[in-house]
Every structure is written in structure tokens, then in C-alpha cells.
Amino acid sequence: MIDVFNEQIEVLIKEGISNLYWYKGDLKKSFYRANVPENITNQIFAIKFNGKSLTKREILDKLYETIRNQEYNRRLEISRNFVRILIEHNNFVPQDNNHRIEKAERSSLKLKEIVNEQQKQQKYREKIKSKAEKATTRNFEQELMNIRKNFLEVEKITDKQKRGIEFEKFFTNLMKAQQIPVEEPFRIVGEQIDGAIKYDGHYYLLELKWQKTKSNQKEIASLFMKAEGKLEARGIFISMEGFTEECLQSLPKGKNLKVLLLDGVHLTSVIFGNYTFSELMEHSISQASLKGEIYCNHNISK
């Protein structure tokens, strides 16, 4: 069943459920089957506007307007139940000449495609996780020891330009040790790219900063524009000194999220074995997908 809920799925649910039933009494029963609280159901179905009851589509709109204020897991549960009702329905027969049940059938088919795709992505993530677990068994501790030693050497470099170059090399070696496909730094017309990794079927352009000051919004915007101009590319901005408070407060929420932000605490947690980079990516992606947060907390168990 769906793991990530977005606007497209919400529209398909509204379109599908409102057209699946001809009678409002049957629509109301579907609310109970979807585990919508009884008080919310009764309240919505009792609403009248200019003396007229809401249309079936307006009822679904009002439901999502209401549950949007509830906790995410509650909204996800209700949405999952509506999706299940639609994709398990196999008798799309109109109950009236004006009954547009074909709209419900189209929504059902599209939701099946989305569910299948999400299941494929889940299997892919499990495969990635399995690879990461295997990496921990084959001399991984020795590799980490070498990486930690190299990290401490890079940390001692005082020349800004030299440390930047060595940091890029270090990060490439870290990704190889973690069995994550990595591209070394490269330059194209008008742009310098600090490298890229491939994770979960997506390329992530890298911006690596190890400077004395925290990174600001202008620097992040530069990586955003680089990712925006590439086919389905995303970005990862790693700033060892973190990000300015102004920058964090103005981060986008739920709008065209293209860049994930990581800092020195995230990276050193990987280097010193608190979690793998794959586990960090899963956590960071889930926070961006579910909560719209592109800068995640450091404790990935939360």
C-alpha cells in the first residue's frame, strides 16, 4: 500500500471515491470503511451551503481540508484505506445514466500503477540496505579506520583551497567504501560540480564545503540551480560548519524540493560508525518526502 502520500494521490482519491458511489448513503459507508472518525463524517455530511447539501466531490474536499490538521500518520491511514477501496473494487457498473463511474475506474487503475511503483522502490531500497549491511562484514571496520585517519589528516590542513581539494577526494573514497556509486568532481561550461552520487535511482550533485563560516542561502541556491538544469537530478549540500540560522529558517516546505542539506555532525557520524551513509540517506529522504524537511536531525532513530 502507499508509503508516500502526495497531492497527486489525494486528487485521485477524491476523483475516484466521489464517482465510485451514486448514492450519498453508500459514500458515507465508505467513510466508515476508511476509518474516518464518526464525528467528522457526520459533521461533513450535515453541512449545507445556501440550503443545499454538498456535492460528493465537495464532501471529499471538505474531508481532506479537515484531516489536514490531524497528524500525518492518521491522514495516511485514511488515505490508504480509500486507496484500498478503489484498487480492490472490480465491478465498475453505473447505477444511473448520469453516473460517471468510468472516472472512478481510471483513478483505480492509476492508483494501482502508483502502488506498484512504490513497491518497486521499496524493494530497491531494501536491496540498497542489504548491500550496506554486507559492506559492514567485509573488512569494513578496517576501511573505516583508514577513512577516519584520512579525515583527521584533512582536518589539519589550513590552506582553504588545498583542504577543499582533499575533502573532495576523501568524500569520493568514503562513498566507495560505503558501496555507493560516485562520480568524481568535474566541470562543464559555466559550472564546477564537486562530484555526484547515484542513490535510489537518482543522481545527486554534490556541493562540499569545509570552510570557517557556516553556509548561507545564496550558496544553497547555487546548487539548486545546478540540479534544476539537469534531467531528474537532485543535490546534496554538505557544509562541515553547518548552515546559518537565517538559512535554516527560510528553507522551503513542500515546494519543489531538490536539495538535501547535511552538515559535519551528519558526516562524522558516518565516519565514526554511528550509522552508514545509506542509512543517513534513507532518513534524510524520508524526512523530505514525508515532512518537507530538507535538513534532517542528526539522530536517525527519531
Q: Which residue, of 68, 93, 126, is where some domain finishes?
A: 126
Question: Which burial class, exposed, middle or buried, applies to 83 when counting CB atoms under 10 A from its CB (0-12, 13-18, 19+)?
Answer: buried
142 and 32, same structural domain? no
- pLDDT mean over 30-49: 93
74 and 25, same structural domain? yes
CA angle 185, 186, 190 (to 5 degrees): 130
Considering the domain boundaries, does residue 298 fall inside one? Answer: no
Considering the domain boundaries, does residue 296 fall inside one? Answer: no
68, 62, 26, 23: which is closest to 43 by C-alpha?
Answer: 62
Q: Which residue, of 126, 155, 170, is where some domain finishes?
A: 126
Instruction: Give percent of the chain with pLDDT exceeding 70.
Output: 91
Considering the domain boundaries, does residue 2 fall inside one? Answer: no
Place of cell 553556509: 215
Considering the domain boundaries, does residue 131 fall inside one? Answer: no
Considering the domain boundaries, does residue 302 fall inside one? Answer: no
pTM higher than 0.85:
no
177 and 58, same structural domain? no
pLDDT at 184: 79
Cα gap 273→294, rounded to integer Å? 23
Mean pLDDT of the chain: 87
- For the stretch 95-137, pLDDT in tens is 999 999 999 999 999 999 998 988 888 888 888 878 777 766 6
Q: What is the DSSP letter of 192?
A: E
Look up residue 30 and give its three cell numbers. Answer: 465508505
- pLDDT mean over 276-290: 90
246 and 141, same structural domain? yes
Q: Which residue, of 61, 94, 126, is where some domain finishes?
A: 126
DSSP lists the bridge partners of residue 259 as 235
Name the 3-class secondary structure at 276. coil
146 and 106, same structural domain? no
Supply the CATH number for residue 234's domain.
3.40.1350.10
- For the stretch 247-271, pLDDT in tens is 887 776 555 678 899 999 999 999 9
173 and 251, same structural domain? yes
182 and 161, same structural domain? yes
120 and 142, same structural domain? no
- pLDDT mean over 42-62: 93
Neighbours of 281 (CB within 10 A): 24
pLDDT at 50: 86
What is the span of the domain harbouring residue 287? 137-291
143 and 105, same structural domain? no
Those residues with Cβ within 8 angstroms of residue 143's Cβ, 6 or more apart along the chain or in another chain: 177
110 and 26, same structural domain? yes
Considering the domain boundaries, does residue 301 fall inside one? Answer: no
Q: 247-277 burial string, b = 16+ CB within 10 Å, else e?
A: beeebeeeeebbbbbbbbebbebbbeeebbb
Look up residue 205 and give its three cell numbers. Answer: 550533485
Considering the domain boundaries, does residue 299 fall inside one? Answer: no
189 and 44, same structural domain? no
Number of domains composing the chain? 2
108, 81, 112: which is closest to 20 by C-alpha?
Answer: 108
Considering the domain boundaries, does residue 71 fall inside one? Answer: yes
259 and 203, same structural domain? yes
Indicate if the alpha-carbon torsion angle 80, 82, 84, 86 is positive or negative: negative
Lowest-confidence region among 4-8, 85-89, 102-106, 218-222: 4-8
